[in-house]
Amino acid sequence: MENVIEIKNLTHYYGEKKVYENLNFSLKEGRIFGLLGKNGTGKTTTINILTGFLKPKSGSCTIFGEESYRLSPETKSRVGFLIEGHVQYSFMNIIQIEKFYSRFYPNWKKDIYFELMSKLKVNRNQKLSKMSCGQRSQVALGLILAQDPDLLILDDYSMGLDAGYRRLFLDYLKEYSKTEGKTIFVTSHIIQDLDGFLDDAVIMDYNGVVTQVSIQDLKQSFSGFTFKTTEKVQLFKDNIIVNFEQIRNKMTVYSFKNEEEVKTHLSELKVEFSDFAKIHLDLEDSFIGLTGKY
């Protein structure tokens, strides 16, 4: 499978402030890829570089083999871009905006757009600026799907949306991606919604990438364990313990190792433990486990 996006040794600073150094990841065709990270870890910076609206300090970022800040019109027509906050031409109405965009894209799929619009309980002459955030998100989604791009870049699609609209958004995207074989790159601050949606993820922390994994591998190999211990115990992150959290005498440890290996490691560290149990981790738990709560 071809790499749709390739990021190599990407480094960016805002003035003296480092955002990240030597960021590397790639995105394969037909996959749904999530860029997950807390606020301020560089998600929007990465999206801006990816969509050609920010020049990185060094490194390269290519989309379909072209440098992202010099995309040809042909390649741009293969990339659907949802701006954070579902920004669109709010001075237009549903009909006008469809008419505007349809002339730019040869494979324009009018039916998909109007199918989504029929679910909105709004007058077709109503301007986007008079719509709710949820309704505007559906217009933005409908336009991107009608464009029929090979790659969809969605910058925090969930911003301002209630649970129903978020679900509707992802259901449509998933169906579209799987039936049409499209590639999706998404960021969101609501990670629990992406559970069952993503194929792969890059998880970012303040120091750069924590890990790039397939969600299936993450669920199989990353675990959480709880046990009781003494309040005075001191743990440190190492090659077994990825992260840990202690609330009084209850300890939670996160690791890519299995239960026996973690137990052995704790014994080697002379940590007293009892009531040792493995806990089920969903995507959000895994994210917290990898990056911590703070």
The pair of three-digit structure tokens given for residue 152, joined into one six-digit string: 């969809």
Shortest distance, position 140 Cβ to another protein, whole Å? 10
How far apart CA 140 and CA 88 sit, in angstroms, is 7
46 binds another protein (CB under 8 A): no
212 binds another protein (CB under 8 A): no
How far apart CA 137 and CA 49 sit, in angstroms, is 23
138 binds another protein (CB under 8 A): no
Could you give the string, one character per residue 102-131, with x where binding to another protein holds by CB under 8 A and - elsewhere? -xxx--------------------------
| Identity of the residue, 99 or 237, whose beta carbon is nearer to another protein in the bound complex | 99
How far apart CA 166 and CA 53 sit, in angstroms, is 26
Nearest Cα to Cα of residue 208 among 3, 4, 12, 60: 12
| Identity of the residue, 73 or 164, whose beta carbon is nearer to another protein in the bound complex | 73
| Identity of the residue, 26 or 90, whose beta carbon is nearer to another protein in the bound complex | 90
* Whether the Cβ atoms of residue 36 and residue 201 lie closer than 8 Å to each other: yes
How far apart CA 67 and CA 58 sit, in angstroms, is 13
Q: H-type helices in 212-282, by residue range?
A: 215-221, 259-268
Select from 2, 16, 73, 270 the one that contacts another protein (CB under 8 A): 73
Shortest distance, position 147 Cβ to another protein, whole Å? 10
Select from 9, 22, 65, 91 the one that contacts another protein (CB under 8 A): 91
Q: H-type helices in the chain, by residue range?
A: 43-50, 73-76, 94-102, 110-119, 133-147, 163-180, 215-221, 259-268, 283-291
Shortest distance, position 87 Cβ to another protein, whole Å? 4
99 binds another protein (CB under 8 A): yes
The contact set with another protein (CB under 8 A) reads 48, 51-55, 69, 73-74, 76-77, 79, 81, 83, 85, 87-92, 96, 99-101, 103-105
